[in-house]
Structure formats: C-alpha cells, structure tokens
Amino acid sequence: MLKSKKNKRVLLFFVKLALFICVGYFFYLQLRKIKWDGLNQVSIKSYVLIFLVFILLAFNLLMEWLKWKNTLRVLSVKVRLRVEIQSFFAGILSGFLTPNLLGNFIGRIFYFERRERIAITFLTLISNSAQFVASTFFGLLSILFIGLNKELLEETNSGVKVLIIVLIIMQFIVFFLLFKISGWVFRSKSWMRKITLAVRGKGFYLLQQLFLSLARHAIFSFQYYFLLLAFGLEADLKLLFYIWQLFLISTLIPSFWFGKLFIRESVAIWILTPLTGHPEIVLLASIMLWLMNQGLPALIGVPYFKLSNRRVHA
C-alpha cells in the first residue's frame, strides 16, 4: 500500500515536471517573438486609463467578495466583518499558491468551526466552477461572433458555430446539474443534506454566483483591454473579443501556482500579437494585470493566512 502511494507520487511528480517543461518551452517560443529593444520604446500613453484599471480592480475584488458573502449567507454562518475580510484575503493567497487558483477554500476554512468547513469548501468549489463557466462562456461567445483566432484555425464554418452554441447551452446545464448530481452522490452525508436545504431555502444561490462570475470576467477583460490601450494600441472591439479567447485557452491549460503566471502571458502573445503587432505591449499589459489582480491581493492576504483552529465566532 505504501509502495503504491509512493509510486503514484513519483508518477504525479513526473507528470507535473513534463507539463512544466512544456509550458516553459511554449513561453520561450512566445518570448522569441518580442523585440527586446522595443521595450525601451514602450511607455504609458494614457494615465487616465491606468487609473480606470485600478478603479476596476476594486470592482473585480467586489464581485469576488460578494460571491464569498453569498456563500456565508446561504450557510447562515455568522462571524464578525473583520473575520469575513481576513478569511477572504487569506483565501486569495491560498488560491494564488495552488493549481488553477482552486485552493482558495484552504485559506478560508481555518477561520471557521470544523462543522462548517466541509460546507464552505464545497460551496467555494461550486463558486469556482461558476467562474470557469464565465470564462468558457465569453470565450465561446467570442468564437461564435468573430471566429477562432487565425493562429488556431483559418476559418470557423457554420458547423463549428452550431457546435459552439450547443457547448454554450450545455455548460450552463452542466453547471446547474453539478449541484444536483453532487447532492445525489453524497445524499447519505449530513453535511450535504444541510447544504441542499440551505441552498433551496435561500433561493437563486447558483444563479447569483453565476451572474457575479460573469460580471467579474467582464470587468477583468476590460482591465486588460484598457491596459493595452494605455500603452498605445488603438481601440478595436475585435481586440476585446480576442482577449476573451485568450482567457478561455489559458483557463483550460493547467497551472501549478502563482495564478497562471507565464501561461496567460504566453497565450496572450500567441493570440494577440498577430492582431496588434506589438508583443512587448501585450507582455507588459499581461504582467501588469497579473500584478494588480492576483499579486497585490495575494500580498494583502499574507498576514491573514493561518492553519490554526482558533474559535472566531462572535
């Protein structure tokens, strides 16, 4: 048994190593497109747009905060506002340090009683899946309206468009069914029965989480768009659509830590360079977006991360 577990860990290590090498090589290929001398020529053309991006950062965090508040509300968890805020930022940090940002529940659960942790973990993962649906929805919508980026496919025919419409419908159906299926699978568990009753009692929880996720995705898409314009690119609605496609592709690629650092930048250069002709601007805008939306909130969460069982209820 121990040997079997050890073999699995070794296999998992080599799988992760192989993925890391693949991602690193892909990033290297994209960096080769950059004229590094051109970085000296890149400068901020509009500080108003940079300011607007920072304003949108507050709304980005607000959408995620409302999702967290909604989870606590539906579970009738009563804690002080200070605890809600600290657990929120601790969750951002733990998500930042885990694959695909999925570990945000880790930083949160230690602020709550043991009996509440499974429910909080489960609904946080449901909330994360709502954000995944938002990324795929906007990405598929972009492909439907303007076609797939020519770096990936020369032409998006009618058959592909029909498939995209089916996928858009199916992903929403699957999202809502996911909760019902989970309720059936874990129906014998008392914590699942409690969650099911809580969600039914408060109403529209899944719909609210989905709406907030869609709003959040729209916000950080415009953040990226405005950053590109701030560095001198011309306003073009097609650019926003391609941003949705790069978020879709980077979402589907597994990451290890640091909020998809290097993955999103590589995909951005790959997708946006043919349209913009300025990979150095794309790279700088991507890094700035990462620092604002993920690096800064994770840094704020450092003092609040803990692994203790201290009682925190009011």
Average pLDDT over residues 292-303: 85
- pLDDT of residue 257 exceeding 70, the answer is no
- pLDDT of residue 181 exceeding 80, the answer is yes
Q: Domain for residue 9, yes or no? A: no
Q: Domain for residue 114, yes or no? A: yes
What does the pLDDT look like over 265-279, one tens digit per residue?
788 888 888 888 888
Give the domain range for residue 47.
27-137+175-304
Rounded Cα distance between 142 and 225, Å, is 15
- pLDDT of residue 78 exceeding 70, the answer is yes
What does the pLDDT look like over 202-223, one tens digit per residue?
768 999 999 999 999 999 999 9
Q: Domain for residue 14, yes or no? A: no
Q: Indicate the range of 79-93, 123-137, 226-240, 289-303 predicted with least confidence.
A: 289-303
Q: How many angstroms separate the most distant Cα atoms in the chain?
A: 63
**Residue 313: strand pairing partners:** 79
Alpha carbon 249 to chain centroid, angstroms: 12
The confidence score (pLDDT) of residue 21 equals: 67
Q: Indicate the range of 86-90, 231-235, 295-299, 304-308 predicted with least confidence.
A: 304-308
Q: Are the beta carbons of 46 and 229 closer than 8 angstroms? A: yes
The confidence score (pLDDT) of residue 122 equals: 92
Average pLDDT over residues 224-246: 92
Q: Domain for residue 4, yes or no? A: no
Q: What is the CA radius of gyration of the chain?
A: 21
Alpha carbon 225 to chain centroid, angstroms: 17
- Helical H segments across the chain, by residue range: 2-31, 47-74, 81-96, 104-109, 114-146, 158-185, 190-202, 205-230, 237-252, 263-276, 279-290, 296-301
3-state secondary structure of 79: strand
- pLDDT of residue 312 exceeding 60, the answer is no
Q: Domain for residue 3, yes or no? A: no
- pLDDT of residue 192 exceeding 70, the answer is yes
Question: Burial letters for 15-53: b for 16+ Cβ neighbours within 10 Å, e otherwise?
Answer: eeeeeeeebeebbeebeeebeeeeeeeeeeeeeebbebb
The number of domains in the chain is: 1
- pLDDT of residue 33 exceeding 70, the answer is no
Q: Domain for residue 19, yes or no? A: no
CA distances 35 to 38, 40, 88, 234, 265, Å, are: 5, 10, 40, 20, 16
The confidence score (pLDDT) of residue 48 equals: 95
- pLDDT of residue 23 exceeding 60, the answer is no
Q: Domain for residue 155, yes or no? A: no
Q: What percent of the chain lies above the pLDDT cut of 90?
A: 33
In the chain the first and final C-alpha atoms are separated, in Å, by: 45
The confidence score (pLDDT) of residue 300 equals: 86
Q: Are the beta carbons of 45 and 234 closer than 8 angstroms? A: no
The single-letter DSSP state of residue 233 is P
Q: What angle do CA 42, 46, 49 make, to 5 degrees?
A: 120
Rounded Cα distance between 39 and 278, Å, is 10
Q: Domain for residue 58, yes or no? A: yes
- pLDDT of residue 30 exceeding 60, the answer is no
Task: Using a cut of 0.85, tell me whether the model's pTM lies above it.
Answer: no
- pLDDT of residue 69 exceeding 60, the answer is yes
